[in-house]
Structure 1
Amino acid sequence: MKSPARTHFEKTLTTKQAAASKGAAAIPADVGIAARMKAMMAGHKTILKAIKSKLEKASVKATLLPEYAAYVEGVMASGSNAQEDILVTVMLWRLDAGDYAGALEVAAYALDHGMSMPENFKSDIPTTILDVIADNDPSVDQLPFVLEAIELTKDHDMPDEVRAKAHKAAGKLLADTDPAAALSHLKIAQEFNPNSGVKTQIGKLEKQIADAGNAPAAD
């Protein structure tokens, strides 16, 4: 059964798309694709603004994102260093929708080409990508994204607390499969933020590794 929020979204989207179709003649036929994407995104932002639920907004963004896929691929294929707010906004929407692989792909391009966040955003791209991916207690299947985000942003300045949070998450997720790597990440987290709450786990891993090293060899 559809939620009231989903029903409202579908009705609103239908209305907005119909209005956009009627107003299409107002946009010259020879206008660039970027202008068309900008106009479409403005309409989508209006739809999103009317939705109060963060969860529902994320769901709606996931629904809308395929409409920008070809444009994003085209921009990244061009290798342009020009600021691309649409591209960066797609990165943010992919983050919100849980598409971390897609978000990281765009983030890597944006950082490599010197792009920044759209206006009215206080945070920058590397801080945002690492903060969001490491947030909300990531699951084991998200470990590759946490590690990729750490590697992607390692040379960028950001608040120590954000970097510590990411390394803490990586350490927690690696603890069962790679204690040595987990310990390394937790120590980095401790270094960046002494209040990150990893001291106990560091002690446990150090003891675990020491005990394993002192264990008698198997016959």
Structure 2
Amino acid sequence: MSSPARNHYLRVTASQTAAAEEAANPLRHATGHELMLAQLAEHKRQLKQIQSIERKADAKRAMLPEYAAWVQGVLESGAGLQDEVFMTVMVWYIDVGDFAAALPLATYAIRHGLVMPDTYQRTTACLIAEEYSTMAVKAVEAGQPVDAAALGEIAELVADQDMPDEVRAKLHKALGYVHSSRIDSTPEDRRQSQREAALGHLRRALELHDKVGVKKDIERLEREIKNAAPAGAKEGDGRG
């Protein structure tokens, strides 16, 4: 049985042990940002142990809630200070396909001219456009839903930003694919305009980069538009 003396000893020992551990903790006087950086470093270490891209995305998805309060504070402050934690979280949201969550971070980063951490080796606008485009195309090809509105806002956000033509071509390809993927779910009377919107983006992608991989998609859409045109319009085309 536990005696009062033994209980007192255990409490004192536990308190002393905790105090010693706290004194040995190099982060005991760390600021909030330093704590976030330490957490980010640990999470990156864990991610390096994972080889599967799919499993990495699952791990990031589980980690992201731990940064939510910090990111919200940054957005509310509006200070526009360079922040590695904030910028990395933005990329992780894109990596897990949460375009809606990434959008306010991307908007903030572009508005304040924040730069990517050195490991990314790209400008912020270039990374945002390329990563959004890559994830959108992958989702469309896998038959998964894509947040078309968020992708459209990203296109507007980076419209006046400098980036390689190949990257902007990828963005137009993604927009074209998303429009094309929504044709079947669009009301019949609006499908033609949906096809034309998709075709416009794909043609622009091809203009920017002839190896972007959209030539067959352009040909298919041109056939669909021609076949869906009213009979009179088809005949008119034939006479021209």
Structure 2 CA distance for partners of 1:112 and 1:141, relative to 1, 3 Å: same
Matched residue type, 2:93: R
- Which residue matches 2:214? 198
Q: What are the ranges of 5 or more consecutive residues in structure 1 without an aligned counterpart?
A: 1-21
Q: Deviations over 1:135-194 (max 9, x none)?
A: 253326213333232222211111212211221222133132401211211121121112
Q: Secondary structure at the match of 1:205?
A: helix
- Which residue matches 1:166? 171
Where in structure 2 are the equivalents of 1:16-165 lying within 5 Å? 22=21, 25-29=25-29, 31-135=30-134, 136-139=137-140, 141-142=145-146, 143-165=148-170
Q: What are the ranges of 5 or more consecutive residues in structure 2 without an aligned counterpart?
A: 1-20, 184-190, 234-240
Q: Secondary structure at the match of 1:137?
A: helix
Distance in 1, Cα, partners of 2:79 & 2:221? 46
CA contact 1:130–1:146 (8 Å) conserved in 2: no
Matched residue type, 1:156: Q
Moved more, 83-92 or 176-185: 176-185
Structure 2 CA distance for partners of 1:213 and 1:37, relative to 1, 3 Å: same
Structure 1 or 2, whichever has the larger Rg, is: 2
TM-score by length of 1: 0.78
CA contact 2:99–2:151 (8 Å) conserved in 1: no
TM-score by length of 2: 0.72
Q: Deviations over 1:45-78 (max 9, x none)?
A: 2222222222222111111110110000000110
Report the aligned-residue RMSD.
2.4
Percentage identity across aligned positions? 39
In the alignment of these two chains, the number of paired residues is 195
Structure 2 CA distance for partners of 1:62 and 1:201, relative to 1, 3 Å: closer
